[in-house]
Amino acid sequence: MQSRFSRRSLLQAGALAAGGTALAAVSPVAGIGGPSGPGSRYGGLQPDPGGLLELPPGFSYRVLASEGDLLPSGMTMPGHPDGAAAFAWPGGGTVLVRNHELDVGKGPPVEGRRPYDSGYPGGTTAIVLDRDRKVADQFVVSSGTINNCSGGATPWGTWLTCEEDLTGGFAVEGHGYVFEVDPSSPEDELSRTPIREMGFFSHEALAIDPSSSVVYMTEDDFRGKVNKADPIRDTRSAFFYRYLPDDPSPRKGALQAGGKLQALAVEEAPLRNMDFADPQRRLRVVWRTIDPTDVHNDALSKGCARFNRLEGCAFSGGAVWFSDTVGGESHLGQVYRYVPGTETLELFIEGSRKKRMQSPDGLTAAPWGDLLFCEDGRGADRLMGIDPEGGAYELASNGLGIGELAGCCFSPDGQTMFISIQEPGITFAVWGPFSPPDPARKRRLAAGSPGEFGPALGAEGAEFALRNGLGRLEAAAFQALYGLPL
């Protein structure tokens, strides 16, 4: 029978029964996309004559790679592209490194010459583009892994590829690890060496704080069930982790020197299950040290904050963003913001209607300061943007109507966007009138609260709010009171 109580009414009842008190909400709940639904800062999406990728007016795309293409090595281009990152390449070009989320029997494998485990089909490939966005080379970067779902770029120019898997175990050459791969040194020894101290669990995505080299990681674990009729009976659990490296040097291989793995926890007892979180409610968090050999079970036993299915992860403007693809009242997804400087977490935005948000997966910090997310709703998925005011807009849509969008990232100059359709395995380069890079807007997104009104904060004001854990209105009032610049 359908429950007549909402998740949050159940939470409030539990909090009152426990005599708990909640931190005040920073701002009213903001509906994603505003009252008229999603638009676009670049104009509405246009039908694609090729039927592949719908984009705003003035934008163009080129297909860079398709599953089954022949590589210069004579090997076949694998399918299921997922997480990706782009780096500068000698001669003024760009190299795009892509994961291939391949399981046994799922498609042509990544055929490398020096695999980590020759029995498994996943790995990473690279596409080198010249100044004109034309393909100059393609090659395998790593192979012999499994279900390379997402990962994250390092500030020092390598890609950390994550296995979304639990095959084997910590004490054996199993799977369920993070590997560091370097497109300038493909299939080297490092690419075949799991970073064991980052934990054995079902890894999804990660992001690195460039000021500290701390790595933040999401877990996509399918154990348990989401109970839509009776949320109290939800048994799904996934956790948000961080890795504190012993050697924080921004260099290739430093993460292999060891470190401490921790999971995020919220000390307010009713919020062990983050599905009950209220939007814009800032929660104080603590971190609990976790056994890297039995990560998920240890986090569960230590009462760490439970999410449903964590997916994307991005660092921007001093904040870490991550998505729960089936979280929220309607199970349409949530995006969270964690601020390391204040040790606070908040549910930044939540989907309430499919037109506005459905199953947010991979996250990307756009050069102009907004946060982008790929939908994984098993249909005509879109690439959506979230602005500092909490509004959402469409930036691209899958013209095929099938296949997950994945791997959104940008060239170092911010002028080329890359994105893939996972099935049938197509990767695109997109260009057009992108807004210029805007670090101040990134700080606004990291410090402000969606739906707030009042005086706009400048770059100094946004930094002030972020540093002191204040909302936009609070910071504006404080600065006006003391005569500080906005």
**What is the CB neighbour count within 10 angstroms for residue 215?**
25
pLDDT band (50, 70, 90) for residue 278: confident
449-481: pLDDT as tens digits: 654 323 445 656 666 666 665 555 556 555 555
What pLDDT is recorded for position 28? 27
The tens digit of pLDDT for each residue in 90-103 reads: 999 999 999 999 99
Residue type, 185: S
Cα 77 from Cα 138, distance rounded (Å): 9
Specify the pLDDT at position 236.
Answer: 76
- Provide the pLDDT confidence category of residue 25 given band limits of 50, 70 and 90: very low
Helices 459-468 and 439-447 pack at an angle, to 10 degrees, of 40
Average of per-residue pLDDT values in the chain:
85
Q: Which of 138-152, 223-237, 397-411 has the highest mean pLDDT?
A: 138-152
Reported as a pLDDT band with limits 50, 70 and 90, residue 3 is very low
pLDDT at position 29: 31
> Mind listing the pLDDT tens digit for each residue in 292-302?
999 999 999 99
pLDDT at 308 over 80: yes
* Closest C-alpha to 472, from 481, 483, 480, 461: 461
Pick the CATH number of 23-452 from 2.40.50.180, 2.60.120.10, 1.10.1040.10, 2.120.10.30: 2.120.10.30
H or E segment and range at residue 262: strand 259-266
| Least reliable range by pLDDT among 13-22, 272-281, 358-367, 379-388 | 13-22
287 pLDDT tier (thresholds 50, 70, 90): very high
Residue 129 has pLDDT above 70, yes or no: yes
Gap between the Cα atoms of 107 and 74, Å rounded: 17
116-130, 184-198, 340-354, 439-453: segment of lowest average pLDDT: 439-453
pLDDT at 107: 80
* pLDDT on residue 316: 96
49-82 pLDDT per residue, tens: 999 999 999 999 999 999 999 999 999 999 999 9
Q: How far is CA 460 from the centre of its chain?
A: 27
Rounded CA-CA distance 287/289 in Å is 7
Give the pTM: 0.86
Token pair listed for 397 = 């849509």
Query: Three-state SS across the chain?
Result: CCCCCCHHHHHHHHHHHCCCCCCCECCCCCCCCCCCCCECCCCCCECCCCCCEEECCCCEEEEEEECCCECCCCCECCCCEEEEEEEEECCCEEEEEEEECCCCCCCCCCCCCCCCCCCCCEEEEEEEECCCCCEEEEEEEEEEECCEEEEEECCCCCEEEEECCCCCCCCCCCCCCEEEECCCCCCCCHHHCCCHHHCCCCEEEEEECCCCCCEEEEECCCCCCCCCCCHHHCCCCECEEEEEECCCCCCCCHHHHCEEEEEEEECCHHHHEHHHCCECECEEEEEEECCCCCHHHHHHHCCCCEECCEEEEEEECCEEEEEECCCCCCCCCEEEEEECCCCEEEEEEECCCCCCCCCEEEEEECCCCCEEEEECCCCCCEEEEECCCCCEEEEEEECCCCCCEEEEEECCCCCCEEEEECCCCEEEEEECCCCCCCHHHHHHHHHCCCCCCCCCCCHHHHHHHHHHCCCHHHHHHHHHHCCCCC
pLDDT at 26 exceeding the cut of 80: no
User: Taking 50 as the threshold, does the pLDDT of residue 24 lie above it?
Assistant: no
